[in-house]
């Protein structure tokens, strides 16, 4: 059997969490957590270096029997789509540790344990090739996330954590039912690859499609099941927000890509117009909500709804450009919105205010901070030359091919994005100085810069030279399209 | 003729980009910092000029850097149209760099480092756009230009500055994040590429005429820097910027980037054949004629000299678009050379407005009575540039208007000949009174003796006035390039 690289990547954070429990000193805890996450990230780079971009087949696969009687195996493997998100998760992992360095000052050990547990489970979700194993990781993620929001969150943390838990649990229950139905209709196996090859009757596909839709839509989140998101984001500590926006929201979209499209191709094609419309609704509605916010965190949270609308829009165009753009936008949103939450956290640590009205003229007080904030703001509004523009252009181009009206609505969302993001930046960074004078604000320090720089690199790298990223996902996307269109009867 | 592969297009952009960085680094060493811009400008002009022989001979200079998306490269291609824009921008940067130093020092302006850094970066963006080989590359530079000019517009950081700059950004970004974005996505969807193709990228594409028409107008209004009404309101708002910015950027680099993009779309994305086939040429011609006349009428009513010049610019930009969409070769040549003719004259006029402001603190025309006696060089240059704007021989403005007029006759559209003539009369009506008042008006009270020419400000504006006239006498360079585009 080959070297179990994926198991290592998934379980190193878990092992790290176990080690942390033995430590007593907060600084030791921080440095150990950082070491573990950096090691995990290094392994991911090794993984990408050995990743074969010429095939859509699952790579680095590991299979061990687990519960043979039920056909449950411990199976891991990645294709181009999951590889990108394993990488993103590991990247944000150590950035989260850095972002919590001083922001978390009580129960540091418990926090870092939750963070590492969360990371292990998220990586597990992206690597799992067995539906049951996937479900275990998927459900277990709820616990550390609930704890991170509920213990280290803001004043309304208990309400927010509970709301988050209820919404996702409700979605997950439907998912569980779907999994069981799939198990019995799909030849009593949990093997994801085998299930993809099944040709289910359209009626079953339809029911499963809606069960999955609700489960995944809550995670994305799509309008109208999005209301947990702003609460969770506002209350969560910075690292929690980064994980939520950077990785957790991607799980829903990943669910569509891994289950709905390949396993339920007929239903996916049949309901694609519905999904496109829901996505366009999320884009515009999320944008309008963001426009009305005074709270920085809420603004970024609502912008996520709009941006994730672009992701689901791209996915359900069911054409090459749309899908590639949607997946690239998932990665871009993780980088950019993760960075924006980091920036909100950084300034909150200094001023203890998230209200845009309190700010103004920050450029004078913290030039480096505002310069990088400009970069990520522009990236979020998809300025040409940044990562999101490439994704947005692909998604829109795919959307116009699929449905002109939906494409036009999405463009309206892009305009709204420019409005609320530039408006936010103008009020915070420019204009007459307000809070920058009242408080002595120090600019970013070296630790914070280390967390910011890699994200900035990806903004420009994907923006100008997205080829390596498109090469990774390319074969898998093309394969996914053949699965949808040949099995779904389209084209 | 095979394209010449060369790194020079990138070098031209890099020189200005590095100059911006150098200015930032030399923040505290004022003398050295101020030396950077003129030197970079000369270097940039030399690089641009070194490519001129190839382009004049009908060739192109190419540099393909890397692939961004399938069918989209990050690539430069220096062709005749780009050469017109790049020559004008880089040549005038030399003059404007010297003028800026004189202006900023005389007024003891704050944030001069930011000013000069953004100024250099704007030039990098403008020339990058001129040399872009496809829409994607062009749009990157187009947006960078919007961003780096934004701090120049809010430069004074007062109430007026924030309001004006906000309008500036809202119009430019609003247009590019809505209709321009849609146009790009639709073009990529229809053609699978965003390259500039002689004869038109979309020429052979099978799509409904209605959709094509929508895409066309999305481009026309999406490139809001071209200031075709109703997307013009940002330009007068941008006049809150210091005068050197209004001069080089809002009379040359930024606005010409706008019309340049529109010309690219007409010539190399749609192609004149398709524009004609869809019946869009005449429709656009009426639209821009409205802009030409309306903006001139606005200009008549403005007493603030810079505001009058801004509306005049709105009007003159539409001449350029008009020339292109009349679709007759002569008119197209007229439109293209008007890029240069308008640039030389309008920068002179703005320089003069700045010179008056530096010397006397005056902004309103009604306060300028008799100022010509104190500032004879400035107001003399103003008069010469006014003549070029009106189109009096032997100035550059005469040549381009001559071609435009001849072109509208050739196109069989006499209506536009009338538009050109009426607008020339309007030009005279809002420019000549300024000179008249300055030279023959009686001062209510005599200006103090401190009102006198400032050499570092006056010399550049005399130089650009001379350029305006020389272009009328030796139009060969720009005519050859323009004929190269049309051919």
**pLDDT tens, position by position, A21-40:** 898 888 888 999 999 999 99
Closest CB to A396 among B142, B144, B185:
B185
CA distance B374 to chain A (A): 38
**CB burial string B56-89: b at 16+ within 10 A, e below:** eeebbbbbebeebbbebbbbbbbbbbbbbbbbbb
Least confident range from A4-18, A206-220, A437-451, B92-106: namely A437-451
What's the whole-number mean pLDDT along residues A441-455? 89
Report the pLDDT value the prediction gives residue A490, as an integer from 0 to 100.
45
Contacts of B152 in chain A (CB under 8 A): none
Contact check, Cβ <8 Å, A411/B186: no
Span A413-422, mean pLDDT?
93
The helix or strand, by DSSP H or E, that contains position A356, with its residue range, turns out to be none
Q: How confident is the model at residue A387 (pLDDT cuts 50, 70, 90)?
A: very high
Is B335 within 8 Å of B324 (Cβ atoms)? yes
Q: What is the pLDDT of residue A200?
A: 86
Report residue B73: phi and psi, to 5°. -110, 160
Interface of B with A (CB under 8 A): 66-69, 74, 136, 139-140, 142-144, 147, 154, 157, 162, 166, 169, 173-174, 177-179, 181-182, 184-186, 188-189, 211
DSSP-derived 3-state class of residue B28: coil
CB A89 within 8 A of CB A126: yes
Whole-number Å distance between alpha carbons of A230 and A238: 13
Distance from C-alpha of A208 to C-alpha of A220, rounded to nearest angstrom: 18
- The ipTM of this complex is 0.90
Over pLDDT 90: what percentage of chain B? 66
A320 touches chain B (CB under 8 A): no
Q: How confident is the model at residue A91 (pLDDT cuts 50, 70, 90)?
A: very high
Among A323, A296, A162, A177, smallest CA distance to A228 is for A162
Q: Give the number of beta-carbon pairs within 8 Å between A and B.
A: 80
Rounded to an integer, the average pLDDT of A422-433 is 86
Q: Which residue of A has its CA nearest to B165?
A: A426
Q: Which pLDDT score is estimated for B446?
A: 67
Residue of B144, B179, B184 lying closest to A393 (CB–CB): B184
Q: What percent of chain B has pLDDT over 70?
A: 99
pLDDT exceeds 80 at position A489: no
- Residue showing tokens 């603004």: A299
Predicted pLDDT at A314: 95
- Dihedral angle of Cα B45, B48, B54, B56, to the nearest 10 degrees: -70
Peptide bond into B230 cis (omega under 30): yes
Domain locations along chain B: 339-487
Q: What is the value of pTM for the model shown?
A: 0.93
Q: What angle do CA A76, A81, A82 make, to 5 degrees?
A: 35
Instruction: Quote the tokens at residue B376.
Output: 């004879």
Is the pLDDT assigned to residue A444 strictly greater than 90? no
Contact yes or no for A76/A6 (Cβ under 8 A) = yes
Residue A379: per-residue pLDDT: 94
Element (H, E) at B81: helix B80-107
Interface contact B185-A431, CB threshold 8 A? no
- Whether B23 and B124 have beta carbons less than 8 Å apart is answered as no
Q: What is the pLDDT of residue A439?
A: 60
Q: Which of B143, B173, B188 is facing A393, going by the closest CB pair?
A: B188
B189 to A397: CB separation less than 8 angstroms, yes or no? yes
pLDDT on residue B447: 67
Using the predicted structure, report yes or no on whether residue A182 has a pLDDT greater than 70.
Answer: yes
State percent of chain A over pLDDT 70. 98
Domain spans of chain A, in order of start: 287-491
Name the DSSP class of A357. G
pLDDT exceeds 50 at position A463: yes
Candidate from A400, A414, A417 with C-beta closest to B186:
A400
Q: What is the percent of chain A where pLDDT is above 90?
A: 58
Q: Which residues contact A457 (CB under 8 A, 6 or more apart)?
A: none
Residues of B in contact with A381 (CB under 8 A): 177
Examine the pLDDT at A187 and tell me if it is beyond 90.
Answer: no
Gap from B195 CA to chain A (nearest CA, Å): 15
Round the average pLDDT of chain B to a whole number and report it: 91
**pLDDT tens string B11-37:** 999 999 999 999 999 888 888 888 899
Which of the four pLDDT bands, split at 50, 70 and 90, describes residue B295?
very high
Q: How confident is the model at residue B1 (pLDDT cuts 50, 70, 90)?
A: low
Tell me: the pLDDT tens digits for B446-455? Answer: 667 677 888 8
Q: Find chain A residues with C-beta within 8 A of B154's C-beta.
A: 430
What is the rounded average pLDDT of the residues B54-73? 90
**Virtual torsion, Cα B176, B180, B181, B186, nearest 10 deg:** 180
The confidence score (pLDDT) of residue A125 equals: 94
Q: Give B425-446 pLDDT, tens digit per residue.
A: 999 999 999 999 888 888 776 6
Per DSSP, the residues of B120-147 read: HHHHHHHHHHHHBSBHHHHHHHHHHHHH
Contacts of A417 in chain B (CB under 8 A): 177
Cβ under 8 Å to B: A residues 355-394: 378, 381-385, 390, 392-394
Report the SS3 class of residue B57: coil
């Amino acid at each position: 059997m080959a070297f179990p690289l994926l198991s290592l990547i998934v379980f190193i954070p878990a092992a790290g969490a176990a080690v942390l429990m033995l430590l007593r000193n907060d600084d030791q805890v921080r440095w150990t957590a950082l070491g573990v996450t950096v090691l995990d990230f290094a392994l991911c780079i090794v993984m990408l270096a050995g990743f074969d971009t010429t095939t859509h087949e699952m790579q680095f696969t590991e299979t061990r029997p687990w519960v043979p009687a039920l056909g449950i195996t411990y199976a891991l493997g990645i294709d181009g789509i999951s590889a990108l998100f394993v990488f993103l998760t590991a990247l944000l992992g150590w950035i989260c540790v850095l972002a919590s360095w001083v922001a978390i000052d009580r129960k540091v050990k418990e926090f870092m344990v939750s963070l590492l547990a969360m990371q292990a489970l998220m990586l597990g979700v992206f690597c799992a090739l067995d539906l049951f194993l996937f479900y275990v990781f998927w459900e277990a993620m709820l616990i550390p996330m609930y704890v991170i929001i509920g213990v280290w969150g803001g004043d309304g943390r208990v309400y927010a954590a509970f709301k988050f838990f209820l919404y996702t649990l409700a979605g997950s229950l439907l998912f569980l039912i779907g999994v069981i139905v799939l198990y019995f209709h799909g030849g009593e196996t949990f093997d994801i690859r085998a299930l993809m090859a099944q040709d289910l009757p359209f009626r079953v596909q339809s029911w499963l499609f809606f069960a999955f839709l609700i489960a995944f839509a809550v995670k994305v989140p799509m309008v109208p099941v999005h209301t947990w998101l702003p609460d969770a984001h506002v209350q969560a500590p910075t690292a929690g927000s980064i994980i939520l926006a950077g990785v957790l929201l991607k799980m829903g979209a990943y669910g569509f890509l891994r289950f709905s499209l390949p396993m339920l191709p007929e239903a996916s094609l049949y309901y694609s117009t519905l999904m496109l419309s829901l996505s366009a609704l999320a884009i515009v509605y999320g944008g309008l909500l963001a426009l009305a916010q005074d709270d920085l965190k809420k603004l970024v949270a609502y912008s996520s709804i709009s941006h994730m609308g672009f992701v689901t829009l791209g996915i359900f165009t069911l054409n090459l450009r749309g899908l590639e753009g949607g997946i690239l936008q998932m990665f871009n949103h993780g980088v950019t919105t993760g960075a924006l939450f980091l920036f909100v956290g950084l300034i909150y640590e200094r001023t203890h205010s998230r209200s845009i009205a309190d700010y103004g003229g920050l450029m004078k007080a913290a030039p480096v901070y505002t310069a990088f904030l400009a970069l990520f703001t522009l990236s979020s509004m998809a300025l040409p030359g940044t990562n999101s523009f490439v994704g947005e252009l692909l998604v829109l181009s795919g959307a116009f091919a699929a449905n002109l009206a939906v494409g036009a609505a999405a463009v309206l969302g892009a305009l709204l994005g420019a409005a609320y993001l530039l408006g936010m930046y103008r009020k915070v960074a420019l204009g007459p100085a307000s809070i920058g004078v009242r408080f002595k604000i120090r600019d970013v320090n070296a630790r914070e810069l280390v967390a910011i720089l890699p994200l900035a690199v990806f903004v420009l790298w994907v923006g100008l030279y997205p080829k390596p990223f498109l090469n990774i996902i390319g074969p898998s996307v093309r394969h996914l399209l053949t699965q949808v269109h040949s099995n779904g009867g389209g084209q | 003729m095979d394209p010449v592969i060369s790194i020079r297009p990138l070098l031209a952009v890099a020189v200005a980009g590095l100059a911006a960085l150098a200015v930032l680094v030399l923040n505290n060493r004022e003398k050295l910092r101020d030396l950077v811009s003129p030197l970079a400008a000369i270097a940039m002009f030399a690089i641009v000029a070194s490519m001129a022989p190839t382009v004049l001979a009908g060739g192109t200079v190419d540099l393909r850097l890397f692939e961004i998306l399938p069918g989209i490269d990050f690539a430069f291609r220096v062709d005749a149209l780009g050469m017109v824009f790049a020559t004008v921008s880089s040549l005038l940067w030399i003059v404007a760099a010297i003028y800026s130093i004189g202006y900023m020092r005389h007024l003891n302006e704050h944030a001069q480092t930011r000013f000069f850094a953004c100024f250099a970066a704007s030039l990098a963006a403008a020339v990058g756009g001129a040399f872009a080989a496809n829409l994607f590359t062009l749009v990157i530079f187009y947006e960078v230009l919007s961003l780096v000019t934004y701090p120049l517009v809010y430069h004074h950081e007062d109430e007026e500055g924030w309001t004006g700059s906000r309008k500036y950004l809202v119009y430019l970004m609003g247009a590019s994040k809505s209709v321009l974005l849609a146009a790009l996505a639709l073009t990529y969807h229809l053609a699978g590429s965003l390259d500039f193709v002689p004869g038109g990228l979309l020429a052979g594409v099978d799509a409904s005429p209605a959709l094509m028409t929508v895409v066309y107008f999305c481009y026309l209004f999406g490139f809001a820097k071209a200031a075709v009404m109703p997307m013009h309101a940002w330009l007068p708002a941008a006049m809150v910027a210091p005068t050197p910015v209004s001069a080089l950027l809002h009379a040359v680099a930024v606005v010409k980037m706008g019309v340049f993009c529109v010309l690219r779309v007409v010539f190399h994305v749609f192609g004149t054949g398709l524009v004609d086939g869809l019946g869009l040429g005449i429709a656009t011609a009426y639209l821009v004629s409205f802009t030409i006349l309306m903006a001139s009428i606005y200009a008549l009513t403005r007493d603030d000299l810079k505001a009058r010049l801004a509306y005049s610019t709105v009007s003159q930009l539409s001449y350029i678009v008009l020339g292109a969409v009349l679709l007759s070769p002569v008119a197209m040549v007229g439109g293209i050379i008007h890029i240069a003719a308008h640039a030389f004259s309008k920068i002179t006029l703005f320089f003069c407005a700045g010179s008056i402001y530096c010397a006397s603190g005056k902004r309103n025309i009604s306060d300028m009575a008799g100022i010509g006696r104190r500032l004879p060089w400035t107001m003399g240059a103003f008069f010469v540039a006014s003549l070029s704007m009106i189109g009096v021989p032997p100035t550059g403005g005469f040549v381009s208007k001559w071609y435009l007029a001849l072109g509208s006759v050739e196109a069989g559209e006499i209506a536009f000949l009338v538009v050109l003539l009426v607008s020339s009369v309007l030009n005279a009506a809002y420019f000549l009174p300024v000179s008249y008042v300055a030279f023959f008006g009686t001062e209510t009270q005599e200006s103090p003796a401190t009102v006198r020419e400032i050499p570092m400000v006056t010399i550049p504006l005399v130089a650009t006035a001379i350029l305006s006239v020389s272009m009328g006498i030796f139009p060969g360079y720009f005519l050859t390039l323009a004929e190269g585009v049309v051919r």
